[in-house]
Amino acid sequence: MRRTTSLIHDKRTFLRRFFPSIVLAVVLASGCTWVSYYDPTTYKNLTELKAEVSTLYESFATSKFDSEAVQHLQLKLRQVYEYEKGKGEKNGETAKQVTIIRTMVDRHTQDRISAGPWSAAHLANTKENIEEAFDIAIRTERLKNKND
């Protein structure tokens, strides 16, 4: 009887000691399936949008405000966001970066509407900020695993 109790105790000790390691190994092994892969469509969308936003911002230094161009760009940003979000949780970081870009563009557009045409210095600073946000998103996509 004592031998049976000892074996049960040893199994419990074994499980207590090694169960966390086993769970961690399973999580890490399954974590390989959580990797997001490079998507050339995302890369194309981001690089094209970067150029369009920069061009729109240059127009913000003029007296004419092109509300149609702003609406067109906002639509494209929403479409890109929906595309990224639709790829699921594995692509959450890229979707979050697109959200940051959308928020920045909306804020900058409101700034242009309320304050009027941008000065050359303000244009340069704002363009640098939005282009850096795009560059981060583009680098993030480029660094993803290539599904060869």
User: Which pLDDT tens digit goes with each residue over 16-25?
Assistant: 665 555 544 4
Asked if residue 12 and residue 84 are part of one domain, the reply reads no
State mean pLDDT over 87-93.
90
Q: pLDDT band at 37, cuts 50/70/90?
A: confident
Same domain, 12 and 85: no
85 shares its domain with 127? yes
125 inside domain: yes
What pLDDT was estimated at residue 142? Answer: 86
Verify that 75 and 133 share a domain, yes or no.
Answer: yes
80, pLDDT greater than 80: yes
Is the residue at 147 inside a domain? no
How high is the pLDDT of residue 33? 43
Q: What is the DSSP string of 62-125?
A: SS---HHHHHHHHHHHHHHHHHHHTT-GGGHHHHHHHHHHHHHHHHHHHHHHHH-SPPHHHHHH
Residues 131 and 66 in one domain: yes
Is residue 105 assigned to a domain? yes
What percentage of the chain has pLDDT greater than the value 90?
66
Domain membership flag for residue 148 = no
Total domains present in the chain? 2
Q: Do residue 41 and residue 100 come from a single domain? A: yes
Among the listed residues 104, 58, 49, the one whose alpha carbon sits nearest the alpha carbon of residue 77: 49
Q: Which residues contact 139 (CB under 8 A, 6 or more apart)?
A: none
Question: Looking at residue 146, what is its pLDDT?
Answer: 74
- Do 23 and 43 share a structural domain? no
- How much is the pLDDT for 112? 98
Instruction: For residues 27-50, give the mean pLDDT.
Output: 74
Q: Confirm whether 17 is domain-assigned.
A: yes
Contact 136, 45 (CB under 8 A): no
pLDDT for position 29: 44
**Do 66 and 130 belong to one domain?**
yes
Q: Is there a single domain that holds both residue 14 and residue 63?
A: no
> Domain check: are 69 and 29 in the same one?
no
Reported as a single tens digit per residue, the pLDDT across 105-134 is: 999 999 999 999 999 999 999 999 999 999
pTM: 0.74
**pLDDT reported for residue 23:** 47
Q: Are residues 121 and 50 in the same domain?
A: yes
Is 80 in the same domain as 93?
A: yes
Q: Which residues form the domain of 25?
A: 2-33
